[in-house]
Structure 1
């Protein structure tokens, strides 16, 4: 009986601890990435349309002010048309959050914000943002992110916001264009 009582007490304690962590996470934003001069960006990977024969070129770095800097040229030659930068991380349980908040400065162009529940998923959940050439703080609700594969909306529910293993930014506006995008901070709220 003592062992049984001890197991019950441990179970009650673990549930209480989980509830405290859950409540704490609900009230505190989670910083997915905060760029600085010391940022380690080895998990940020550029993927261009060259994987399909295209000729677009993108680069990602941290500039001398400490901002993430995604720049390059999108080319439609050889059936190309996109450049992206992807941040892969260990699976995060994100159900206590409802949105992504981005602080960035773009070039007036449209970009896709993309997330994956698992890196191995063939599709992403996407939302479009329009930059205006100034520093902006943009919010994207999880529930508004649609499932998409190669530019086609899939017949699946929108992003449920349970788990996340990848955050990405893609430019692919069906035209030849140069692009520049500065990133300051990415937060889940």
Structure 2
């Protein structure tokens, strides 16, 4: 019995540990690294904003699929890609119980809608979300079947694809 309890405690503490490599802690300079993008760039009518505070990045707004829209997003660019040994993104998130999407754009993306995506649900309590790169789905067969980490040009965090109110907090972004 004692062994089982200790094993469970080790598992719980490992789940709360920071990822091996931190990409973003949302410190004072994070506002220069992340930019807000809404679907109005393509004629959509969603509205939102992103703010960075003591708890991290806060993406809020109203997502509307009217007029062929359906997203609000924050994005960070990476000039040199991610390290070749990266196998997962690790996010610390909380929200309003809605589904949110992570978009990865790579060097092979030729059109704005070429990307890889994976989704998660952000509940009301802070939690860690681990998204393995092998689980990201490509938007087109023009892209390689699997994301190559060194080819990642940007990471986008989005409220996407349905009519709903977005309320997403991201406390950190890391990789393993």
Same fold, TM-score > 0.5, yes or no: yes
Residue 162 in structure 1 maps to residue 153 in structure 2? no
Match of 1:181 in 2: 168
Distance 1:79 1:163 in 2: 29
TM-score (norm. length: structure 2): 0.79
RMSD: 2.0
Q: Deviations over 1:128-179 (max 9, x none)?
A: 111222111010001111111xxxx54640213233220111212322x211
Structure 2: runs of 5 or more not aligned: 1-18
Answering whether residue 28 of structure 2 is matched by residue 41 of structure 1, we say: no
Call closer, same or farther: CA 1:182–1:166 in 2, change over 3 Å. Answer: same
CA shift digits 1:37-58 (9 cap, x unpaired):
x233123111111112111112
Q: Residue 116 of structure 1: CA displacement?
A: 1.7
Please state how far the C-alpha of 1:119 moved relative to its aligned partner.
8.8
* Match status 1:111 vs 2:91: no
**Aligned twin of 1:171:** 159
Structure number with greater CO (CA < 8 Å, separation at least 6) is 2
Aligned residues: 155
Contact 1:94/1:164, CA 8 A, preserved across alignment: no
Residue 136, structure 1, aligned to residue 136, structure 2: no
CA distance in 1, matches of 2:105, 2:67: 27
| Aligned CA distance change for structure 1 residues 121 and 58 (closer, same or farther; 3 Å) | farther
Distance of 2:129 and 2:137 partners within structure 1? 17
Residue equivalent to 2:90: 101
2:134 partner SS: helix
**Which whole-Å CA distance do the structure 2 matches of 1:136 and 1:121 have between them?**
34
TM-score, normalised relative to structure 1: 0.74
State the alpha-carbon separation in 2 of the partners of residues 186 and 178 from structure 1: 23
Q: Which residue of 1 aligns with 2:23?
A: 32
